[in-house]
Structure 1
Amino acid sequence: MPLHPGLDFGTTNSTLALCAPGGTPRLLPVEGEHLTIPSALFFSLEDGGTYFGRKAVFEYVDGAEGRFMRALKSVLGSSLMKETTAVGRQRMSFEELIGRFLQHLKAKLEAATGDTPEKIVLGRPVRFVDEDDGADRRAEEELASAARAQGFRHIEFQFEPVAAALYYESRINAEKLALVVDIGGGTSDFSVVRLSPERARDLDRKGDILSFTGVHVGGTDFDRLLNIARMQPLAGLGSMTADGKREMPRWYFNDMATWHRINTLYTAKVARDIAGLKKEAAEPEKLARYEHLLKHRSGHRLAGSVEAAKIALSDHEATTISLREAGFSMEAPTTRAEFEAATAELVERIAGAIEAALATAGVAAEAVETVILTGGGAQVPAVRHAATMRFPGAEIAQSDAFGSVGLGLGLDAARRFA
């Protein structure tokens, strides 16, 4: 019996699933025994190799000379997709970089099935790009183009929250009205869906999907704002020139805190700019820290430290963000309250999108019987509260944080391609 693949290409992590028609989907091991792989690449200048996932992160954190890329999904639909970036002695487009990662996952599929798959269902957020329908369409087309370049001939897309709902539906025995809350690495998506074992047999579920909404807010945005609030001031954000007339340009620090922008800073021009600003600065020691981040390409290591602190604050009231390297230390204590204050605007946007999903569906909050939470960002206490506070009588279903979308895409592929 043929197995059909679904691919959840995520901002932070990716998964692959296989499913036979009428069968149960399963996630493929994509990195050793791991069922998830960080959506990261490292191009080594030391041995010329290309590393993926955890190996890419390890090589970068270990200090190997090379180019680290992460959160490439966030580039889809943006102006960066038209640019190229230096990778060793060559320049590559972002579509080629995404294609390189997809090629790696396709090899996993081929090894698992003994075949060269040409059909696949790819997940997509409800909105790749907020409030720009043209850019949103381009983002889907760019992802499809990257997949076609790797040999996929028949590509279908499914909304990620719908995929999560399909997987949840495969395990219930009664009809439910559900709100799916999918907080991913780069986007947050919401859908109101009617689910039941009987409805699951239908290929066309348009009538059961009562609404979609989505915002370009995800886990990396929470990282960015915590980084800006607690770490970038140590590198010069908000500091003044010695004459007190000008503040340091903010964009350098905003980009250093944004996963998919960090690599764009590693240029000779930016290094010269920061050296010049340090000479004018009232607090040159702060700009010296920024210089270190540039010289040693430590921006992603700093972002990783911030991400680790964000995760720690889900279980603890306080932690310390710490980046330690040879001859260099950059640390700041932080609390959950500070994190929530820094990211309150993101939580408000998520709450607003949930309200919009209910309004579009034409249902009252009291009618929602189940709230399905998925995605790593749903672990953030303030996000979880915003997602569930309107539904005191509903069952809160904590789905597989990183696997439910991929499993649902596998189910969808088996139904479409059977």
Structure 2
Amino acid sequence: MPSPASFCAIDFGTSNSAIAIPRSDGPGMRLVELEPGHLTMPTAVFYFVEGRHDADGPPRAFGRAAVAAYVEGTDGRLMRSMKSILGSSLIDQTTDVGGGRGVKYFDMLAGYLKRLRNSALAAGARAPLNKLVLGRPVFFVDGEPARDAAAQASLEAAAHAVGFDEVHFQFEPIAAAFDYESQTQHEQIVLVADIGGGTSDFSLVRVGPDRMQRLDRRDDILANHGVHIAGTDFDRHVELASILRELGYRSLGPEKPGQVAREVPSGVYFDLATWHLINTVYSPQRSAELRSMKSFYGNPVHHQRLMTVVEDRLGHELAARAEDAKIAVAGGGDTQIDLGLVETGLRVELGEAEALQALRADIERIAQAGRETVAQAGLQPDDVDALYFTGGSTGLRVLAERIAADYPKAREVRGDRFASVATGLGLHAARLFTR
């Protein structure tokens, strides 16, 4: 039997990642605190323009520090959604990260995995930490088996490159359902709804006490489907419907004799509500263009507030407040968004009904993806025994209720919204490596 701390499990997510290691005080697994107070870390790397190379490569920051460097306008390049390059030709290409430096996407991915591994070692995992279970989606690339296999091979090669000698994979929806499976007394059909920041993924899986010890669970995935709509889309709609209206979104220009007042240009507002486009609004050319548009506004206060946001670089802070407001109304009720940083005393009310109206179309498209998943398996909604909710966005009550409405006979089960996949991968690693 290997050392009880010689293996780990990694949930390498599109938005956030986590790692589980064996407990030192007894059986079972625990999640590593990757950053102070956080068991998950944004899947992000920021490469600084300034600084010296070291043995690991160009100067860089990971996780929340990477995001903070980008938001603060530090010279460099932020890399996110690294998982999306798997299965593409980009994996072997080099990209410019500033300061005359180039980095291969493969090395970027491997560097992030190395950071996770080092964090596990620092948290008490016993060397050699050379055995690994990695989560993977049902399909890295839909409908293209060769590219899907190449995606897994690239991720496995990156894991080998940072010190893992033995690498196994488990499907993320199966891992998410492990906690529920351990509580079942008989075989069931479970619809796993994994709704995170960028995508809403549904998997119909078969679970049961007789299946728990099987290491290959591919045949237990009956169907898989998803849409690229999730938490960041919700945040954008909430910001447009509340905060950005106070800055002139959908407001009208000045009235002129014989002319109907026209709506002010909306492009800047969509950019301010889209996280990775916010910094583009701050360029000198764009700022000058927006400043020259004062005459477009019927209410000059709106233009003044917009320019305060642009000149003081408040876009990411407003996006964060929109996300906080969404969370505040997620369980029902109203909230008040403080915009005093834009104008003294400025506040905007956001109620659950208003938020629902802004999100209604997206919620319906997500629910439709769930129904299509069940249909792909040739089953009916009444055949679903349980709904398993995971992913940060499942905390939005109206979303969970809308999905559940399609499966009236299904039991609703809520996993850890942020760590159920990592926890499940840890359970699989313990079964695999302690046999």
TM value normalised by structure 2: 0.77
Q: Which residue of 2 aligns with 1:318?
A: 334
Whether contact under 8 Å (1:323, 1:331) holds in the other structure is yes
Gaps of 5+ in 2: 53-58
Residues 80-159 of structure 1 mapped to structure 2, 5 A cutoff = 95=105, 101-111=112-122, 112-115=124-127, 117=129, 120-125=132-137, 158-159=170-171
Q: Quick check: 1:341 aligned with 2:339?
A: no
TM-aligned CA deviation for residue 335 of structure 1: 0.8
2:34 aligned with 1:30: yes
Are the counterparts in 1 of residues 140 and 151 from structure 2 also a CA contact under 8 Å? yes
Structure-2 residue corresponding to 1:200: 212
> Once structures 1 and 2 are overlaid, which stretch shifts more, 315-324 or 402-411?
315-324
Equivalent residue, structure 2, for 1:291: 307
Q: Distance in 2 between matches of 1:292 and 1:134?
A: 51
Q: What does 1:13-412 align with in structure 2 at a 5 Å threshold?
A: 13-18=16-21, 24-32=28-36, 34-39=38-43, 52-53=62-63, 66=74, 72-73=80-81, 76=84, 95=105, 101-111=112-122, 112-115=124-127, 117=129, 120-125=132-137, 158-240=170-252, 247-278=263-294, 280-325=296-341, 331-412=347-428
Find the aligned partners of 2:360 and 2:188 in 1 and give their Cα distance.
31
Q: Tell which deviates more after alignment, 136-145 or 113-122.
A: 136-145
**Stretch moving more, 199-208 or 305-314:** 199-208
Asked whether the equivalents of residues 199 and 230 of structure 2 are also in contact (C-alpha less than 8 Å), the reply is yes
Question: Which residue of structure 1 lines up, in the alignment, with residue 56 of structure 2?
Answer: none
- Please state whether the residue corresponding to 1:261 is helix, strand or coil: helix
Q: In structure 2, how many angstroms separate the alpha carbons of the residues matched to 1:255 and 1:83?
A: 28
**Which range moved further: 189-198 or 250-259?**
250-259
Contact 1:39 1:70 in 2 (8 A): no
Deviations, residues 207-238 of structure 1 (Å, cap 9, x unaligned): 22111111111111111111122122333333
For residues 377 and 24 of structure 1, the distance between their equivalents in structure 2, rounded to whole angstroms, comes to: 28
| Higher mean C-alpha displacement, 151-160 vs 372-381 | 151-160
Range 196-205 or range 292-301, more displaced: 292-301
Which secondary structure does the structure 1 equivalent of 2:318 belong to?
helix
Q: Whole-Å Cα distance in 2 between the matches of residues 183 and 228 of structure 1?
A: 21
8 Å Cα contact 1:77/1:142 also seen in 2: no
Distance in 2 of aligned mates of 1:332 and 1:92: 45
- Any unmatched runs of 5+ in structure 1? none
Distance of 1:85 and 1:248 partners within structure 2:
37
Superposed CA offset, 1:270-311 (max 9, x none): 223322333554444433433333333322211111111111
Task: Say which SS state the counterpart of residue 293 (structure 2) adopts.
Answer: helix
Task: Describe the shift of the 1:213–1:286 C-alpha distance in structure 2 as closer, same or farther (beyond 3 A).
Answer: same
| C-alpha displacement of 1:379 | 1.2
- Is the contact made by 1:118 and 1:151 (CA closer than 8 Å) also made in structure 2? yes
The separation in 2 between residues aligned to 1:191 and 1:289, in whole angstroms, is 45
Which stretch of structure 1 is more off in the superposition, 354-363 or 240-249? 240-249
In structure 2, do the counterparts of structure 1 residues 408 and 331 end up closer, same or farther at CA, with 3 Å as the change threshold?
Answer: same
- Residue 16 of structure 1 and its aligned partner are, at CA, apart by 1.1
Cα separation, partners in 2 of 1:205 and 1:340, compared to 1, 3 Å: same
Separation in structure 2 between the aligned mates of residue 186 and residue 360 of structure 1, nearest angstrom: 23
Check whether the contact 2:309–2:342 (CA below 8 A) recurs between aligned residues: no
Q: 1:382, 1:124 → 2: CA distance? A: 29
* Aligned CA distance change for structure 1 residues 305 and 381 (closer, same or farther; 3 Å): same
Compute the displacement of 1:193 (Å): 1.1
Q: One-letter code of the match for 1:73?
A: S
Q: 1:9 to 1:207 in 2, by over 3 A?
A: closer
CA separation in 2, counterparts of 1:231 and 1:130? 37
Q: Look at both structures and tell me which one has the larger radius of gyration over its CA atoms.
A: 2
Give the direction of change, closer, same or farther, for the CA distance of 1:75–1:29 in structure 2 (3 Å limit): closer
SS at match of 1:325: coil
Q: Is the 8 A contact 1:126 1:213 kept in 2?
A: no
The Cα offsets for residues 55-74 of structure 1, whole Å up to 9 and x where unpaired, read as 6678899xx67379989228
Cα RMSD for the two superposed structures: 4.2
Quick one: distance in 2 between partners of 1:143 and 1:286?
48
Distance 1:166 1:340, change over 3 A: same
Please say if residues 329 and 352 of structure 2, whose CA atoms lie closer than 8 Å, have aligned partners that are also in contact.
yes
Contact 1:41–1:68, Cα closer than 8 Å, also in 2? no
Q: Which amino acid aligns with 2:336?
A: T
- Superposed CA deviations along residues 344-367 of structure 1, whole A, max 9, x for unmatched, are 111111111111111011222222
TM-score (norm. length: structure 1): 0.80
Measure the CA separation in 2 of the matches of 1:83 and 1:65: 24
Contact 2:331 2:395 in 1 (8 A): no
SS of residue in 2 equivalent to 1:66:
coil
Identity %, equivalent residues: 37
